[in-house]
Structure 1
Amino acid sequence: MINPIAFQIGPFAIHWYAICIMTGVILAVYLAMKEAPRKNIIPDDILDFILIAFPISIIGARLYYVAFEWSYYSQHLSEIVAVWNGGIAIYGGLIAGAIILFIFSYYRVINPIDFLDIAAPGVMIAQAIGRWGNFINQEAYGRAVKSLNYLPSFIQKQMFIEGSYRVPTFLYESVWNLIGFAIVLVFRRRPKLLKQGEIASFYLIWYGIGRFVIEGMRTDSLMVGGLRVSQWLSVILVIVGISFAIWQRKGKNVPYYQK
């Protein structure tokens, strides 16, 4: 089993979970800053945005998780802030981040659709990396299986939880996001292929479909009334993504992402 603590500096423990998240965020910011000038966005605006949005997104992700696990946290109030032990919901972070993006875009006079287009690929790669934090914390897994012989031994060992091997749903989602990221990188440079907003739409559709399927494999999902919350939200993401793509495609004055 991998120790969730990567190293310690005096009394401070640095968790692998935090390292995975920060690595994903740094890479996402770097990619967005490289792409920003193509959309007439100042790279420094990306830095300013992430300095505001990242902590608020973490709070949003944690509050979302705590809200749906309130029966536990109401009895363990001191653990609400313990994000280093896992227990953040990406949907809560995405919702908080999206709200901040629109507010930030308004005050900086940035087209929020362009901002979403350049941010979406980075979000996908950040999610792909962040899921490995779940792996180390032994969370976001599926049902018990007899073996995981098709996977490297270090994954098999870490996925041996509560006396059984578990379906590595974290890995499926990580790979799914990585594939989506690669698709965007290939197609966004094709002239007159994608219209403004369609990269953001692709993200909503791609992530929504993947999350809906993979969430159905998990055994630790947030539930409301016997239903998986993330699956309902995934359906909403797909509907919004398809609707927005159709709207943009039919728009008369909507520019192409790559002219």
Structure 2
Amino acid sequence: MPLFAIPFPVIDPVLISVGPLAIRWYALAYVAGLVLGWFAMRRLCQADGLWAAGQKRPTVEDLDDLLVYAALGVVLGGRIGHVLFYGWPYYRENPLEILQVWKGGMAFHGGLIGVLVAIAIFAYRRGLSVLTVLDLFAVVAPIGLFFGRLANFINQELWGRPTDVPWAVIFPRADDLPRHPSQIYEALTEGVLLLVVVSLVARAAGFRRPGLLAGVFAIGYALARSFCEFFRQPDASEVINSVLTMGMVLSTPMLLAGLALVANAFRRPALEPARP
């Protein structure tokens, strides 16, 4: 046991409560990720130097609608994914709790599937390339991941394994053992670090190699998530064996898809950049 551990800061999951109406940090994290991502995509679409000559990109009006598509994909996919991947035996016995999203419980891989479906529908209806829209999402998705992991920390969920590191945190909702603040690890790797990597690739290659940015994001997330799984305390339903967890298993197809997207992006020459 460590001689020093950080007690969990007193953070009320509810920011403001007026009668039955409660505004929770968890919900605000998703709102912040979606709104900041939408704003960043607007700036990206207006940066002519990132695009090829004649390459069709979403308009400002398109992005307004895309925000709605993305929100529905993230919330519905994330919740359904959590129920099916991580808690089906429990929710099968307590079906009404499936709708209680304010208590937490959103799966990234489920949200990803929901967003992919939303993007495919949106791109088809607007006559846009699916890969182009995916690349846009790849640049801004780490913003949402960062805020989402901070919300996990405030909600005291997805805590880490017991440890003796000096920055260990005691989560009252878990027990009195010092644990890795794995939510912060994920916020820094899946959020900050991945945002830097994808942004640097976008700065260098722009959107002139369709699928490249989406592939880089998929590879980066799969590696970061798998790394953080060594520090996160998995639920009993998430344990595959002494090493593998459900998070690692679900990240494997994502890693392979990312490698395929990057390879496909480099199979053909980059599109000619647009003139300033």
TM-score, normalising length from structure 2? 0.83
Partner of 1:223: 238
Cα deviation for residue 186 of structure 1 reads: 3.0
Q: Distance in 2 between matches of 1:160 and 1:71?
A: 22
Q: Does 1 or 2 have the higher relative contact order (CA < 8 Å, sep 6+)?
A: 2
Higher mean alpha-carbon deviation, 211-220 vs 88-97, is at 211-220
Counterpart of 2:271 in structure 1: which amino acid? P
Which residues of structure 2 form unaligned runs of 5+? Answer: 1-9, 52-56
Choose which of 11, 16, 20 in structure 1 pairs with 2:20: 11
Cα deviation for residue 220 of structure 1 reads: 2.9
Cα deviation for residue 33 of structure 1 reads: 1.5
Partner of 2:184: 171
Structure 2 residue matching 1:41: 3-state secondary structure: coil
Equivalent residue runs for 1:40-119 within 5 Å: 40-68=57-85, 69-119=87-137
| 1:186 to 2:200 alignment | yes
Q: Are the structure 2 counterparts of residues 236 and 193 from structure 1 closer, same or farther at C-alpha, using a change threshold of 3 Å?
A: same
Partner of 2:264: 247
Q: Are the structure 2 counterparts of residues 195 and 256 from structure 1 closer, same or farther at C-alpha, using a change threshold of 3 Å?
A: farther
Q: Are the structure 2 counterparts of residues 99 and 167 from structure 1 closer, same or farther at C-alpha, using a change threshold of 3 Å?
A: same
Cα deviation for residue 115 of structure 1 reads: 1.1
Is this contact kept in 2: 1:17–1:133, CA < 8 A? Answer: yes
Partner of 2:210: 196
Structure 1 residue matching 2:261: 3-state secondary structure: helix
TM-score, normalising length from structure 1? 0.88
Structure 1 residue matching 2:15: 3-state secondary structure: strand
Higher mean alpha-carbon deviation, 138-147 vs 173-182, is at 138-147
Is this contact kept in 2: 1:159–1:167, CA < 8 A? Answer: no
Structure 2 residue matching 1:139: 3-state secondary structure: coil
Structure 2 residue matching 1:8: 3-state secondary structure: strand
Is this contact kept in 2: 1:188–1:194, CA < 8 A? Answer: no
Counterpart of 2:185 in structure 1: which amino acid? Y
Q: Distance in 1 between matches of 2:179 and 2:221?
A: 23
Q: Distance in 1 between matches of 2:273 and 2:227?
A: 30
Counterpart of 2:194 in structure 1: which amino acid? G
Cα deviation for residue 193 of structure 1 reads: 10
Cα deviation for residue 147 of structure 1 reads: 5.0
Partner of 2:39: 30
Q: Distance in 2 between matches of 1:128 and 1:55?
A: 19
Which residues of structure 1 form unaligned runs of 5+? Answer: none
RMSD: 2.4
Aligned residues: 253
Cα deviation for residue 257 of structure 1 reads: 7.5
Q: Residues 186-240 of structure 1: CA distance to partner in whole angstroms, max 9, x if unpaired?
A: 3422368973321111100000101111123222355275552221121111111
Counterpart of 1:255 in structure 2: which amino acid? L
Q: Residues 109-153 of structure 1: CA distance to partner in whole angstroms, max 9, x if unpaired?
A: 11111111111121111101110110011111211123543x7xx
Cα deviation for residue 249 of structure 1 reads: 0.3
| 1:134 to 2:152 alignment | yes
Partner of 1:162: 175
Structure 2 residue matching 1:179: 3-state secondary structure: helix
Cα deviation for residue 66 of structure 1 reads: 1.0
| 1:144 to 2:158 alignment | no
| 1:212 to 2:201 alignment | no
Structure 2 residue matching 1:134: 3-state secondary structure: helix
Q: Distance in 2 between matches of 1:35 and 1:86?
A: 32
